Chains A and B, each alone.
Chain A
Amino acid sequence: MVKVVKSPKKGLVRSAIGHFRAITEVAKVVVNPGTITVHYPRERRKYPENFRGMIMFEKEDCISCFRCAHICPANAIQMYPDDEGRYYPGIDYAKCIFCHFCVDSCPTAALKQSKIHDVAYKDVDSMSVTPEEMDNVPEIVREDAVTVEYDFDRDIRLVKRKEVENLLVEVDKPERPEFKAVPQYGENCIGCRLCMFSCPVNAIRSKLEETKVILETDYDRCTGCGICVRICPTEVLILTPVEREGDHQ
């Protein structure tokens, strides 16, 4: 249970053996070096598919749910409005710490990882990437002709392949049910209509019936982003998973 380490005894013979061993080991390495260097711009290290590199963005998939901006520990994501009033994320790479909490938070895989990790910016301002620029893959100069992969087989082995690796990763949509915002507890509604104004796809409509505001969700339009749910001060709207489209519970 307890292992005790002891300092070696000192002595002329022991130290002579120590000198001899160190010298022979170094001589061995001189003859047969164990170099593990990857000549980076000309060779590129192969990284796994889940590598947390630059974040790619698909505008079509984005539902403007603000989850990424909300979860970001470094406040690096800012939501920019477009002409239609919808908000899309833009990442400030000066702040980003590549924790990929945003990627893991994204319900539609609009934000996804890539293996790009070597982008240089001219100045701090250009590091703040807008959604329009995020749509494009960042331009990097590829000098590499060889892909190096570390492998282990009693000793380390550098597997070199003559190929140019695709740095973009194909990502499936995450496994999650489809959600719709359902105005479940209409009796709580105070008629502030914040949900209506905040909805990025105008899926919520309100009707005035006498003194009461009745909310109605257009389920074909609703993306289940949950902004209305978060903004509602009295918890009228609830995000509810649906089994099939149109068949909401």
Chain B
Amino acid sequence: MADTASLVSILLDRILSIFVDEMINIPLINPIVERLMEIPFVNVIVAFILWKPIFHVLILPGLLGMTLALLFIIYFERKITARVQWRVGPKEVSRRTGGVIQALADGMRYLFQEVIVHRDANAFYFLQFPLISFLPVLLPLMFIPAGGTYGIKTIYTIPAALALISLIPVFIVAMGWASNSKFAYIGSVREAFMYFAYEIPFLLAVVAMIVLYQTPDPFEIVAKQWILGAVMNPIAFLAFFITVLIATSRLPFDIPEADQEVAFGPYVEYSGIIFGLVMMLPYEKLYLLSMLSVILFFGGWNGPEIAILGDLAPVIYLYIKTILFMCVVSLARSIYARYRLDQSLRLGWGVVLSLSMIALFISAGWAAWLRL
């Protein structure tokens, strides 16, 4: 028995040693962490949570951070739209705080609503896709670093993240297919069209920035941004911004899920918490793309150092900048009407594609000049 006990403690020590090397260092909570690290078993858990990849994916800017950001941005979007529209917006759920928990309350309502799977749907895929679609949302988070924390550290993180983000429309089209309904079908076809229209200029805009910095490594990109990327290459930023609007189905490009035309398109048959999940999908995508755009165009996690937060400071800078970018994007909803499919395809394949090409040339010019 003693052997087993010692074996377990040796094993735990070995596991602990993996985590301890790359633990996030936050001076603010160091005394608590040190106290906890003295307790066996608990120290493994604490070390695991504070292990950089896990902290990155699960806490900030990962799952927890994303959930908070989404809850906030949904509330903010409703509130700012209401402000523009001479209204007040959500308020009654908790009047003292101005209705901050409205999005949470809506989520709770979805949770208690019946999930209906209609007769014509392919029930297996119908229920499966909304859940699987979290994969292309969470996996890119592994690749997009946040300065102090990171999931997988390679120099190809930005291309890898882009490749995974590009998978999301595939799941939306699949959802529309599994719904087996006319409006879902029309919505899926529209989504597929839009996917091709924005993906190329989007990638070109990112490539332009990679050319500008001559590296796909986000750490280097951020380090080189003593002038903001958006100032260095505004055309690339414009192309990126428009494609973000198209990619996240924001107005004026919410064509696949136009509720007056195709009644939420691919999501038309979903109800209950499953609908809540699929409706979060564009917001999750917006979160990822905002993070990417902050890294590429707004100096990523650059900011004055805060000693007491240690490694957490850059993460918080990135997080705040991401939320600010999302706030700006959410304002588009109250300004614009919806374009028609053919018009936005023309825009995507014409104007935005040429903009991203121009951006590529500008970047090449900068790159050549800076090397001299």
Direct A–B contact present (CB less than 8 angstroms): yes
| A35 CA to B81 CA, complexed, in Å | 12
Question: Does B336 have its Cβ within 8 Å of any Cβ on chain A?
Answer: yes
Question: Does B112 have its Cβ within 8 Å of any Cβ on chain A?
Answer: no
B-chain residues with CB within 8 Å of residue A34 when the two chains form the complex:
86
Question: Does B335 have its Cβ within 8 Å of any Cβ on chain A?
Answer: yes
- Give the contacts of A16-75 with B (CB-CB under 8 A): 22-23, 26, 29-30, 33-37, 39
Question: Does B182 have its Cβ within 8 Å of any Cβ on chain A?
Answer: no
B-chain residues with CB within 8 Å of residue A26 when the two chains form the complex:
84, 331, 334-335
Q: Mark B323-336, 1 if CB is under 8 A from A, else 0.
A: 00000000100111
A-chain residues with CB within 8 Å of residue B88 when the two chains form the complex:
35, 37, 39
- We find that the number of chain A residues with CB closer than 8 angstroms to chain B is 11
Question: Does B83 have its Cβ within 8 Å of any Cβ on chain A?
Answer: yes
B-chain residues with CB within 8 Å of residue A39 when the two chains form the complex:
88
| A36 CA to B85 CA, complexed, in Å | 10
Please state if A30 and B335 are interface contacts (CB–CB under 8 Å). Answer: no
- We find that the number of chain B residues with CB closer than 8 angstroms to chain A is 10
Please state if B86 and A30 are interface contacts (CB–CB under 8 Å). Answer: no
- What distance in Å separates the Cβ of A197 from its nearest Cβ neighbour in chain B? 58
- What distance in Å separates the Cβ of B326 from its nearest Cβ neighbour in chain A? 16
Which residue in A22, A30, A33 is a CB contact (below 8 Å) of B336? A22
- Interface centre among A26, A36, A37, by most chain B C-beta atoms within 10 angstroms, is A26
B-chain residues with CB within 8 Å of residue A22 when the two chains form the complex:
335-336
B-chain residues with CB within 8 Å of residue A33 when the two chains form the complex:
83-84, 86
Question: Does B36 have its Cβ within 8 Å of any Cβ on chain A?
Answer: no
Which residue in B80, B83, B87, B335 is a CB contact (below 8 Å) of A23? B335
A-chain residues with CB within 8 Å of residue B83 when the two chains form the complex:
29-30, 33, 35
| A29 CA to B80 CA, complexed, in Å | 10
| A245 CA to B336 CA, complexed, in Å | 72
Please state if B80 and A35 are interface contacts (CB–CB under 8 Å). Answer: no
Q: Do A35 and B331 contact each other (CB < 8 Å), given the known contacts A22-B336, A30-B80?
A: no
| A36 CA to B82 CA, complexed, in Å | 11
Please state if B84 and A37 are interface contacts (CB–CB under 8 Å). Answer: no
| A34 CA to B82 CA, complexed, in Å | 11
B-chain residues with CB within 8 Å of residue A36 when the two chains form the complex:
86
| A23 CA to B335 CA, complexed, in Å | 6
A residues adjacent to B (C-beta < 8 A): 22-23, 26, 29-30, 33-37, 39
In addition to A30-B80, A37-B87, 18 A-B residue pairs with Cβ atoms within 8 Å of each other are: A22-B335, A23-B335, A26-B84, A26-B331, A26-B334, A29-B83, A29-B84, A29-B86, A30-B83, A30-B84, A30-B331, A33-B84, A33-B86, A35-B86, A35-B88, A36-B86, A37-B86, A39-B88
**CB pairs A–B below 8 angstroms (9 shown):** A30-B80, A33-B83, A33-B84, A33-B86, A34-B86, A36-B86, A37-B87, A37-B88, A39-B88
